[in-house]
Structure 1
Amino acid sequence: MTATAAQDNGLSGYVDRKRRLWLFSLMVPGLALVGPLLYMLVSPQIIWLWLSTLFGYVVIPMLDGVLGEDLSNPPEEAVPALEADSYYRYVTYALVPILWISFLVNIIFLGTHDLPWYGTLAVILATGGSLGFGLNLGHEMGHKKTTLERWLAKITLALGCYGHFFVEHNRGHHRDVATPEDPASARMGESIYRFVFREMPGAFFRAWDLEAQRLDRCGKSVWSLENEILQPALISAVLYGGLIAWLGIEMLPIMLLIAFWGAFQLTQANYIEHYGLLRAKQANGRYERCQPHHSWNSNHLFSNWALFHLQRHSDHHAHPTRRYQSLRDFPDLPRLPNGYFGMYLLAYFPQLWAKVMDKRLLAAVDRDPERINFLPAKKEMLMRRYNLGPQEQVPEEVLA
């Protein structure tokens, strides 16, 4: 985009150098299709089916390490025009059919090909991984106020049977984030394997309670079609029921595994986004307003291009309706050492995760235990390990 084009778009001469790079947010999720297509059109080699998973867990962390970080922000005077530019919305719209086609092709591929177990596993991981990108898209569009974007969010979330995220994230997580009350905020000392058993059910039950309360205020039944959890759930039921009727009941456990792996992508993101960070409780019993320093931030280039700037999570929580192309970096934020994909891999090894992240957490909160969201069962042990208890006072005469 030239400076003249930028001026024509009302951007006051500002040039978004990442404008075309946001297309990676379409290309990377689309890789889930590549393996089955290469298997059918080139040669029946199982290695093709592992390409998208290897790209996510190996290539993207390496690219983030090589390309580094981007700390630039759009000037505030350019933001209104930047957010009004329809190009950025069209990119998100385009991902919806890509995700649906990818899901359908991969399910049909699994239902019509006799694969060894490791080939089936590869397609499950690739397809579930693409559902993770769908959750990210639902996250981006679910925050917006237009009817089209909100319905596209529900339609996308329905692929992985995770439509309750539309309610839970916007009205639950953003309210309770970085507090002990939030099932989607990880605690210091909590492994991802422990976190998943708290986050997944906790998110659903909180979403259902929130929607039931809203409908009750409106004088409507929780089983009404106005229920924003039931709306995407009905889409999921028709989709999964139709595929089972066509391909057979044996596809049900495979599709459930795919849906779980897709949901686990969100769990991983939630785990790393607020690990150990705590909002202070005020004298009135309420928590302080969420600030940028209550989220972990990452400016790593490639993974941000692939995730619609999800990793600039600090600005997102401070300003939830801000569109992805306008999200900013701030100085002195808690920072991740790699992009999300590299951090996912690190989280699979809890001892290594603690070794890397606990010291970063302590630095981010200036070693103040009052600013740490501890796993209660490990709080005393962690206080001792990192010497966070009250320090012994040294007599003045000794200091003299």
Structure 2
Amino acid sequence: MTTIEVKAPVLHTVDQALSVAARVATEIVAGAVQREIDGVLPTEQLRAVAASGLLGIIVPAEHGGPDLPPSTAVEVLRILSRADSAVGQLLLAHFVINAAIRGLGQIDPAPRIYADVLAGAQVGNATVERGTRLSVDRLTTVAHRPEGGWVLNGTKYYATGALGATWIAVAARISGTEPASGATVFVRADDPGVALNLEKWSSFGQRGTASGEVIFDNVVVDDAQVIDEGPDPDQVTADASVLGAFDQALHAAVDIGIARAALEDGAQFVGTRSRPWFEAQVDSAAEEPHVVRRFGELTARLFALEALLAHGAHLVDKALAEPQLTRESAGAASLQVAAAKALAQEFAVEIASGVFELAGASATDRSDALDRHWRNVRVHSLHDPARWKYVHLGNFTLRGTLPPRLGVLL
């Protein structure tokens, strides 16, 4: 699927967006277990999200959008990830790229892309490549054509969000520049020379994201769709930004949504199907004191994660609402989000694994697919290392050092 042909409504308020997200989540959670068992990609579920108007919630007002705050997108993604974490992660890049387009200013492709998004189009990413020294290195090139325009060549992997996308944002380097200039290149998924080999994704978790390979073979691109970003900015002296914090909040939302799904599904299993241990002398596993206590511990962890995430997303909103974004306000948002993201990587995995100890051996039956929560959060939590979040938090506490400008994107 490369395009989504819908006419989506505009969701003008936060309450409206969250209400619609809850309704759509109810729809997409139905069949989630069977999709996991059968290996069916959530293409119909992406269409449902597109038709709901949720994809357009952060489109700027000057482009006809409702201009809802970033925290709304974070909460929407958490709600959807609780229902189907593949859907949540597939839409993560969409919201980040929408925010990035805004941050680039009055760029030529913005009106066209935003108009498509408001109509229900999804934007995907093609950022990371295999075979590079660092995950941020770019081998994909975009070069001037003698007859005008540009030509794009390269191979991307981990192309999450390309499934279902109308537009794909490609990270490239401009040929012949020294120091190397980076560029974001916007192509349509059905452009000649664009090949989606998404089935190459073979991870044991987040299977439904189809985060495989995208090949760009002499893709001709108009001048308006190539954004020259110049050399990589200095992480200390560059202008303040909360794009990285927004991106990381969305990633945390996926993990935390999975954690809630694991806890609630595990509790339902224990309450309806698990047998109590004979020494407990109770009628239900849900009455065993040790089970009750452990569920309480896991619930406390989940509540803490959700509160941290909400506060971090609020600080992103607050920083952007200032007349002038400062490194201090951006840093405050980044640090809070870093704490949420780092703890989510630990606690969400603990929750998704811990419910099996409480539910018992029968909970491992493949027909229930309860293991999907652990597999999904284990894989997604590896996106970027929590250890560096703790380094930045520690540096701030010990020396008042603000975190890097951009964080880790996509």
TM-score (norm 2): 0.28
Task: From the two aligned structures, give the one with the greater helix fraction.
Answer: 1
Structure with greater contact order relative to length (CA < 8 Å, sep ≥ 6): 1
